[in-house]
Amino acid sequence: MSYSLFSHGGGLFLLRYFHVLAGIVWIGHLYYFNFVQGAFFAETDAATKSNAIQKLVPRALWWFRWGAMITMITGVLLYMGNGNYIPNNSPALTITLGMALGLVMWFNVWFVIWPNQKIVIQSATQVAQGGQALPTAAAAAAKAGLASRHNVLFSIPMLFFMLGAQHLGIAVNPEYNMGVFFGIFFAILGALEFNALKGKLGPLTTVKGVIHMGLFLTVVFYLMLEILTK
């Protein structure tokens, strides 16, 4: 008796299953930090905020960063398992855009948000124990918040393209000018990521603003797909 999961297709299915499960953990915590915790910290008293930073935030950051790591690893393995690498057809092109956004988000989690949040947690713990706040804590909190808010922006087109790979058939001319298409795509993504590392929140300051900008970015990338791949 053969079991469907114990086949190449079954293996890819399990990868896809754990990919989406880990993705829910990751993005779920990203939206919690940006849509819930931020507003609460702005309103609550200093003692409650300090307690939360010492005892709640580290727990949430553990699930957040390891959710991101498992999503990334299963995603890359899925990509390798699919074997459809040249972005001259709709599934390969769409998932390439989704993966570019996802990998930038993963980088921001592990190399910007987590290192800076560790400074914020350390400083709050030191103050609670009667010590001095770390002089870098305020800047670290701002850097983590900026990168995190940009991850919300990127998450909206990212998920559009993740699902689009198998469920949105774009009529792609295999001879389209990839240089122009990816030149524009990576110029936009690069400029936004530069702002995520060195810039300002601007229209992303409010939850409403980041959701609207995320939907707008999705429309821009979708129209690029429809217009520049013919």
**Residues in contact with ligand HEM by the rule CB under 6 A:** 16, 19-20, 23-24, 26-27, 71-72, 75-76, 78-79, 82, 91, 95, 99, 102-103, 106, 159, 162-163, 165-166
What value, to the nearest 5°, has the Cα angle with vertex 50 and ends 108 and 56? 60
Q: Which is nearer to ligand HEM, 84 or 126 (CB)?
A: 84
Q: Which is nearer to ligand HEM, 140 or 189 (CB)?
A: 189
Smallest gap from residue 145 Cβ to ligand HEM (A) = 20
Smallest gap from residue 41 Cβ to ligand HEM (A) = 24
The contacts found for 217-222 with CB under 8 angstroms, 24 or more apart, are 217/153, 217/154, 217/156, 217/157, 217/188, 217/192, 218/156, 218/157, 218/160, 220/188, 221/97, 221/157, 221/160, 221/161, 221/185, 221/188, 222/160
Nearest alpha carbon to residue 155 among 76, 71, 223: 71
Smallest gap from residue 10 Cβ to ligand HEM (A) = 14
What tokens does 203 get?
Answer: 């229209």
Smallest gap from residue 169 Cβ to ligand HEM (A) = 12
Instruction: Tell the burial category of 68 from Cβ atoms under 10 Å away from its Cβ (0-12, 13-18, 19+).
Output: buried
Q: Which is nearer to ligand HEM, 57 or 72 (CB)?
A: 72
Smallest gap from residue 152 Cβ to ligand HEM (A) = 12
Q: Which is nearer to ligand HEM, 4 or 132 (CB)?
A: 4
Q: Which is nearer to ligand HEM, 122 or 160 (CB)?
A: 160
